[in-house]
A and B are shown apart, each in its own frame.
Chain A
Amino acid sequence: MRNTYLRLLQLVTGILIAVLLGIHIVIMHLDAILGFFGVDVNDVTSWGSMIERARQGIWAGLYIALLAVVLYHALNGLRNVILELTPSARTERVVTWAIIAFGIIAFIGGTYVPAALLAG
């Protein structure tokens, strides 16, 4: 059932991306609409504001979760495309491990700053 679980996770991460990315877009780009509802986000795109959000657990968690689901969704999709175009057992192993390694490195790189800010 490995492929079924992988595909199911692809669907679940797709839905999660829509939700988490939706929150990100609303906060970052739709401040006029938020202002209409009485929410003041100040200068949300400034460096200071970004660092401030990264220090708050809920925001840091949201962005770490967004990074994780985007990486899984994109890299699993890329793996499926590559395996379809170059079908062989050897390619399968190489592509799978290369993509897992890339995903882990990208996740560590992406979470280093918020994790460091949260810790210290």
Chain B
Amino acid sequence: MTEDSTKQIRFKVQRYNPEHDGTPHFQEFMVPSSQSMTVLEGLIYIKENLDSSLVFRTSCRMAICGSCGMLINNYPHLACHTQIEEFHSNTLTIKPLPNLPIIKDLVVDLIPFFNTHKSLKPYILRQDAEEMGNPTAEYAQAPHALETFLQFTYCIKCGICISACPTSASDKLFLGPQALAQCYRYCADNRDEGEQERIPLVDTDHGVWHCHLAAACSEACPKGLDPALAIQLLKRRLVSRAVGLGKKQQPSPVVLPPTEIKPKLPFPEFTVKGT
């Protein structure tokens, strides 16, 4: 961090300790920023040099784990995936993700979010319980079948879509874009036969039909997913079932793995220790 390339950025961070504070308040820190520095690096600088009591959640630093979702200048971002210079401002306002209960400072309680996700059975459900329990082979899936839901498998469960969603803000019982998109992801998977079990869970007063299609989730998603599209496709599946139209999805067959497996190429000798 050279002298001429750094500039001071004012971090206005929302602080809240439910054990001592009645309401959240802001605390300001001056952080030396350099080119390509991320907001997360700024927060780490504060914790290491200015105030070790600042609490935030972080892990991978490469937009994979989904831990560092927070509201930066009033828009939900992953702090590790957001560079300070993107904002063209000398002041950054950092708050915890909205629509989720605050545990402390920038850390929100994601347990209700994960519980909603789990309630929609986000895993492959099959009629052949014996094959599921003791698999003898593989479920075949063609590439074009995978493409119908592939993008939704990239969800990192960061909670940013929930915090951007206006319906989640007004309806606390709304299932939310993440869970609904994952419901579609598994219903559209031709290895899955659990649609019948999931439909009653999303066809409720606070389920799929409460999405207003604001598409704020798709705009905010740091992985470029389109949960709003998944919700629309889920609605289409529901209507198709209700009126008896549409092609019935056939469960993928069980196929034996290829008999001849090509052996993996050995590591180049210079990479193997001791050679």
List residues of A whose CB falls within 8 A of some B CB. 1-8, 80, 83-85, 87, 92
Q: B209, A87: Cβ atoms under 8 Å? A: no
Q: Looking at chain A's contact residues, is the secondary structure mostly helix, strand, loop, or mixed?
A: helix
Q: Looking at chain B's contact residues, is the secondary structure mostly helix, strand, loop, or mixed?
A: helix
Q: Which residue of B lies closest to A87 (CB)?
A: B173
Given A2-B203, A4-B242: 6 more A-B contacts, CB < 8 Å = A1-B203, A1-B238, A4-B238, A7-B235, A8-B243, A87-B174
Partner of A87, one of B171, B199, B203, B239: B171
Q: A5 CA to B241 CA in the complex, in Å?
A: 11
Q: A1 CA to B203 CA in the complex, in Å?
A: 6
Within 8 A of A (CB), among B178-233: 199, 203-207, 209-210
Q: A8, B239: Cβ atoms under 8 Å? A: yes
| Size category of the binding interface on chain B | 20 to 34
Q: Which residue of B lies closest to A85 (CB)?
A: B170
Q: Evaluate whether A92 and B242 lie within 8 angstroms (CB atoms) in the complex, with A84-B210, A87-B173 already known.
A: no
List residues of B whose CB falls within 8 A of some A CB. 167, 170-174, 199, 203-207, 209-210, 235, 238-239, 241-243
Centre residue among B207, B210, B235 by max chain A CB count within 10 A: B210
Partner of B170, one of A4, A5, A7, A84: A84
Kindly list chain B residues whose C-beta atoms are within 8 Å of the C-beta of A80: 205, 210
List 27 A-B pairs, Cβ < 8 Å.
A1-B199, A1-B241, A1-B242, A2-B203, A3-B207, A3-B209, A4-B203, A4-B209, A4-B239, A4-B242, A6-B209, A7-B209, A8-B239, A8-B242, A80-B205, A80-B210, A83-B171, A83-B205, A83-B206, A84-B167, A84-B170, A84-B171, A84-B210, A85-B171, A87-B172, A87-B174, A87-B206
